[in-house]
Structure 1
Amino acid sequence: MAKQAPVGRQAEITRAAAALFNERGFHTSSMEDVAQAVGLKKPTLYHYVQSKAQIVAWIHDECVAAVLPPLQGYVKEGLPAPEILRRVAQDIFGLLESKPGYLRIYFENHRDLDKRSQTRIAKRRDEYYGYVRQVLEEGTAAGDLSVENPQLAAMTFFGMCNWAYQWYRPGGSLTPEQIATYVWKTFMAGVSEPGFERLPERLA
């Protein structure tokens, strides 16, 4: 049985495996391949991790940790809905930039998680979605947004941001912040009350 990997070693394994899975695919990559990518012998790798599924769970946990706590903070801070949505988009594109391959694995390999991890991570995913839906509802109530169907609007927003893992490449001509702002403005154009272009300076 694998022991609990030290934080540094877990991050090293996760980062190398994510790059490998992103390039070659999860199912065509072996634990031997992961060991080589990390620079370990295969028996040593098993000292830290039991399976590729466990690595996928680590990747899922890192993705959630990168976006859920910040969103909880924005909501707790009481920021206006448009600003929260802008920051959420920036967090997602920041994750695409800082952890290449992670979101691809998050969306394409969730079925490769063990059942216990699937349940745990699905709960946090639903919590994240619920916060954004709440932001859309409260933004509409405050007069900052005009959203008839918060559930559909939330799915649309995440579709615009999350699907970017298919085409986003780190180190491009535009920064993740620039792309996130463009996506955010495109979404806001469809859900804003008249006067969106004249947002207060604090939201610029």
Structure 2
Amino acid sequence: MNKADTARDRQERRHLSTDQRRRDIVATAADLFDRNGYVNTSMQDIARAAGIAKPTLYHYFTSKDEILCRIHEEFIDQLLSRHENRLAARLRPDQLVLEVMADILELMETHRGHVRVFFENHRELPEREQAEIRLKRDRYQTMVEETFAAGTAEGLFRDVDPRTAALALFGMCNWAYQWYRKDGTMRTRDLAYVFWDYLVHGVGAGRP
């Protein structure tokens, strides 16, 4: 980045609202945590990358822990909101399963840092916030389990244990960020269709 780009970025940041500035800081921190690790990233590093002074950063966030909490909240709240909207639209259970997978995988591309932090840095959250995020995670898992149960009731899925099916889904999607690359041959939506086909239809060629 040249000096002109840096000056332009700083000028644009001056016109951000408080909420926009906070979101910008969180996104910047998530990227740093993704590249360098949460433990290895300091508030000074975040301030420098965000183009603000360290005292200014403390005006928006009192600690690195608070930023970590915000990253977790943004990630799980997006998943919950998207799924609730689709439930309101009355999508079929098999369609909902596809969209659940797509949501997790698409966030690898749009919020990669959030994804890594959510799955790798849960234990670094303060105890109270850790409990709050766990409640939201459990709520989301229950919603996915209910989707599988509804699919079985409607004859779309065979009789499977909803909890095990949900955990299988998460097992396929949650760790894909460790190997997925944007410059690969598939977009995240394409990958969601592949994973969905494996989960719903299996990979067997049929009995001989």
- TM-score bracket, shorter-length normalisation: 0.7 to 0.9
Q: 1:21 aligns with which of 26, 33, 49?
A: 33
1:90-118 CA-partner distances (Å, limit 9, x unpaired):
11111111112211100111111112211
Cα separation, 1, equivalents of 2:118 and 2:183: 21
How many residues are aligned here?
A: 188
Given the alignment, which residue of 131, 134, 146 partners 2:146? Answer: 134
One-letter identity of the residue aligned with 1:67:
L
TM-score by length of 2: 0.85
5+ long unaligned stretches in structure 2: 1-16
**1:177 equivalent in structure 2:** 189
Partners in 2 of 1:136 and 1:30 — Cα distance?
Answer: 42
CA deviations 1:62-86 (Å, max 9, x no partner) are 1112211111122233221110011
Matched residue type, 2:127: K
CA distance in 2, matches of 1:174, 1:146: 29
Give the Cα separation in 2 of the matches to 1:115 and 1:140: 37
Larger radius of gyration, structure 1 or 2? 2
Match of 1:168, SS state, is coil
Deviation at 1:150, TM superposition (A): 1.1
Matching residue of 2:135 = 123
Q: Percent identity?
A: 38
Matched, 1:160 2:175: no
- The aligned amino acid for 1:160 is M
Q: What SS class does the counterpart of residue 157 from structure 2 fall into?
A: coil
2:78 counterpart of 1:62: no
CA positional deviation for 1:148: 2.1
2:156 to 144, 147, 154: 144
| TM-score normalised according to structure 1 size | 0.87
Note if 1:48 corresponds to 2:70: no
Which residue matches 2:96? 84
Kindly provide the CA deviation profile for residues 31-67 of structure 1, in whole angstroms up to 9, marking residues without a partner as x.
Answer: 1111111111111111111111111111111111221
Partner Cα distance (2:21, 2:129) in 1: 21
Q: One-letter code of the match for 2:27?
A: R
RMSD: 1.8
Residue in 1 that maps onto 2:24: 12
Q: Deviations over 1:147-174 (max 9, x none)?
A: 4211111101011011112112234332
SS at match of 1:151: helix
